[in-house]
Every structure is written in C-alpha cells, then in structure tokens.
Structure 1
Amino acid sequence: MPYLIPESPHHTRYEVKKSQFTGYAAPASSREQAMDFLAALRQQYPDARHHCWAYLLGPPAAPVSVAMNDDGEPSGTAGKPILNVLQHNNVGDVVIVVVRYFGGIKLGAGGLVRAYSAAAQMTLESLPTRQLVKQTTLKVETDFRHEQFVRHYVEQHQGDILQTHYQQHVVIELSLPDESIDELFSLAGSMGFTVRSD
C-alpha cells in the first residue's frame, strides 16, 4: 500500500497563552534517524522547557515501530497527542518534535493535549511530502553502446544508478520503481542486454 513520506524537514509555530509550541517534522526511516533529529533540536534550543516527540516508522496503516516521549510534561499530555496525529494521517517514516517555550501561564492537562495536538497537526498538514515508491535493485549488463540508453531509461522512470563497473561489458547496478521493471526486461530482450535481480 503506497504512502506518503516527508520530502524535507519542516516546521510551524503555534502560540497559546504566551507559550510557544514549534513543531518540527523530518523524514525518519529508523529510530537512530529520529533520535539524531531530536538531538540536533536539543542542541539548537537548549533553553527550551520541553522537547516532546513521537515517530512512526513504516506505513501509517501498519507501522513497523512507533514511540513517543513527554519530556517532563505531565504523562500523556504531549507525546501521545503527537503520536495520535501521526496515526491518523497517511504519512509514514516521520518524526515530529514539538519544542515548547513556557509563557508563564499554566495550561492544565487538557490545554496541553490540545496545544501539542494542534502544533503536530499544523506541522503535518503543511509538511511537503512525496509518495514512497517501492523500488527493486537490479543489475544490467550491457555493451558500451547501450549504456546511455540504460542510464536515460533509469532517469526517465525516477530510478537511481547505484554503481557502474567497466569490464569487457558495462555492469550497472540500479534501483527502479517496481512498475517499470517488466518494461526494462522486455527492452533488454529486444536490444540484447541482460537484466537480473540478485
């Protein structure tokens, strides 16, 4: 099932009763990536009162892993509302950190839940995303005269050239969206180069 992933890091600011809630979202395909993003924000805003976060790895409908943290806010008032927003949108492989600067007026548990939810929702709604396309790694062995054709085909179909080895033939390791693979195999047959998936 295709789903959306963040295209680039993004942030929005939300203010309530002089407290500032800045939501930061970024791509994260592993716990390490999510924790690195959190660590960078802690370093950037060491004076903030709280750095509350949640992440969702894999497809939103059936995540591989989820986690959250209230970072000193009353239990269940920050990490859970952020995670709740993540679980009700079609965006996966994502981390959201809400950085809070306290404005001097207590919001109460209900107020905190609403503020963290709103900050996460605003950030996610305006987050630039792209469709995650399943890709497969292939090896193409071709003579030199078809190398440019193969490179052009991969570029046209939003694939990636991973590496190229030059021997008697050119061996190109590439990744290609699954829906473009059959066509490459049939072109290989008619043009005389070989494609294999290891």
Structure 2
Amino acid sequence: MTDSYQIPSAELIIEEEIKHSRFISFIFHCQSYEEIKCALTNIKTRYPAASHYCYAFIAQNPTNTVAMGSSDDGEPTGSAGRPMLATLQGANVGEIGAIVVRYFGGTKLGVGGLVRAYSSGLKQGLTQLQTQLKQIRYSGSLICEYSQLKDVEHLLAQYDAVVEARDFMEKVTLSFAIPKRFKTELNLNLASISQGSLMAKFDLLE
C-alpha cells in the first residue's frame, strides 16, 4: 500500500450542454459508499426533476479496486458510471467521488455519445481540481524511561510520526502513528540511541 496519495480538497462543479441535454458534473472528497449516497440525496434535492443522477467513486487510495463503485442510473449499461469511474482512475486521485446530473434535452446521444458526455465534465474538472496530499500513518507504541523521552520524541518527529498519547506511569508509554516506510529505520535508530533497549511495536495487521 502506498504511504501517501492526493485527495480532493474542494468540491468542483462543471456544467455543459451537449446536444440540448444539460450535464452538471460534481467532483468531491468521498471516503465511503455512504458518503456518495448522502451526496446523491443532497444533489437530488438541489437539482430536482433531472433525468439521471449517475455516479462513480474511489473511497480509498487510487489503486484500491475494492473500495469503488459506479451507477448508470437508468442509462444504457456501461454508458455512464463505468466510463466515469475509468476517468477517475486515470487521475490517480484517491477518496474521490463524482456525480453527473443529466437533464434530457430531447436528442438521444447513443451509447458512444453518452460515454463521451458523462466523461467530458469529469475530464475537464480533474484538470482544475484542487488536491492535497494525504499521508497514511500506521499505529505504533513504545515504552521508554523518563530520561529518554526528549530524545525519543525528537526521533519520532524526524520520521514524520504523530504522537497521539503519552501515558506517564513508572515509565512512559507513547502511542504514535508513522508512515510505513519509516518503521524499520525508526527501530534501528531507537536501538542506536538506547544501546538496544528501545524498540517500537506495530500492529501486526498493518
């Protein structure tokens, strides 16, 4: 799994008319199927009486083929949701959702025309989309002496770790999150500064 990827930082709307049909494309941050359903509900309220509300989403990192989905919402099979999803996949952006609202204008576009129409707004929007880097961190913990705490926290900061909790008992237990690529190097340096007495533990599921 990648340690980081781009995600949308703002919603974007692209509106265009294609052969008298009105297409309104929304691109936004989306982390689950539940979020895409909620967005659909809101958009249907804002844009009532449209002919179709097609969607596609990638709820996790851009290469995750499980946490994604799409819907043609009554358009011919494969003419809307699937090409929308393919467009999102090509952008290499994670946690992204897209909904395209269509008001039918009386002219049938055919399957090929629909594929192009439902992809058009997204392709335009993705070139303008504001994104930010999401850093994936993995949970870890370690126990150190009070006298070691300053050096340990300095080392964690060097590896872009985020200290989430400090438990002060007989010794100090630190709970933190760190990019996966630094896990081995962190333990090597912990051993170096403590003559081998310090070692971080990480969730085996990760």
TM (normalized to structure 1)?
0.77
Are the structure 2 counterparts of residues 158 and 27 from structure 1 closer, same or farther at C-alpha, using a change threshold of 3 Å?
Answer: farther
Are the structure 2 counterparts of residues 184 and 55 from structure 1 closer, same or farther at C-alpha, using a change threshold of 3 Å?
Answer: same
2:72 maps to a residue whose letter is: D
Identify the residue that residue 69 of structure 2 maps to in structure 1: 67
1:23 maps to a residue whose letter is: F
Which ranges of structure 1 fall in alignment gaps of 5 or more residues? none
Which of 171, 174, 180 is residue 172 of structure 1 equivalent to? 174
Identify the residue that residue 106 of structure 1 maps to in structure 2: 107
Identify the residue that residue 118 of structure 1 maps to in structure 2: 120
Q: State the distance in 1 between where 2:30 and 2:155 align.
A: 28
Are the structure 2 counterparts of residues 174 and 37 from structure 1 closer, same or farther at C-alpha, using a change threshold of 3 Å?
Answer: farther
1:26 maps to a residue whose letter is: H
Q: CA deviation at 1:138?
A: 0.9
Are the structure 2 counterparts of residues 155 and 37 from structure 1 closer, same or farther at C-alpha, using a change threshold of 3 Å?
Answer: farther
Q: State the distance in 2 between where 1:7 and 1:147 align.
A: 37
Q: CA deviation at 1:148?
A: 4.4
2:9 maps to a residue whose letter is: S
Identify the residue that residue 10 of structure 1 maps to in structure 2: 11
Identify the residue that residue 98 of structure 2 maps to in structure 1: 96
- Deviation digits for residues 124-168 of structure 1, max 9, x if unmatched? 333334555553311021233444444444444333333332212
Sequence identity percentage: 26
2:190 maps to a residue whose letter is: A
- Deviation digits for residues 90-134 of structure 1, max 9, x if unmatched? 23343212234x274535234432221011222333333455555
Q: Contact 1:21–1:116 at 8 Å: present in 2 too?
A: no
Q: Contact 1:4–1:129 at 8 Å: present in 2 too?
A: no
The range that moved more, 70-79 or 143-152, is 143-152
Q: CA deviation at 1:60?
A: 4.1
Are the structure 2 counterparts of residues 123 and 156 from structure 1 closer, same or farther at C-alpha, using a change threshold of 3 Å?
Answer: farther
Larger radius of gyration between Structure 1 and Structure 2: 2
Q: State the distance in 2 between where 1:182 and 1:91 align.
A: 28
Identify the residue that residue 79 of structure 1 maps to in structure 2: 81
Map 1:128-143 → 2, pairs under 5 A: 128-130=130-132, 133-143=135-145
Aligned length: 195
2:27 maps to a residue whose letter is: Y
Which ranges of structure 2 fall in alignment gaps of 5 or more residues? none
1:13 maps to a residue whose letter is: I
Question: Secondary structure at the residue paired with 2:138?
Answer: strand
TM (normalized to structure 2)?
0.74
Which of 21, 24, 37 is residue 24 of structure 2 equivalent to? 21
Question: Secondary structure at the residue paired with 1:6?
Answer: strand
Q: State the distance in 2 between where 1:41 and 1:153 align.
A: 47
Map 1:35-74 → 2, pairs under 5 A: 35-43=37-45, 45-47=46-48, 49=50, 50-61=52-63, 63-74=65-76
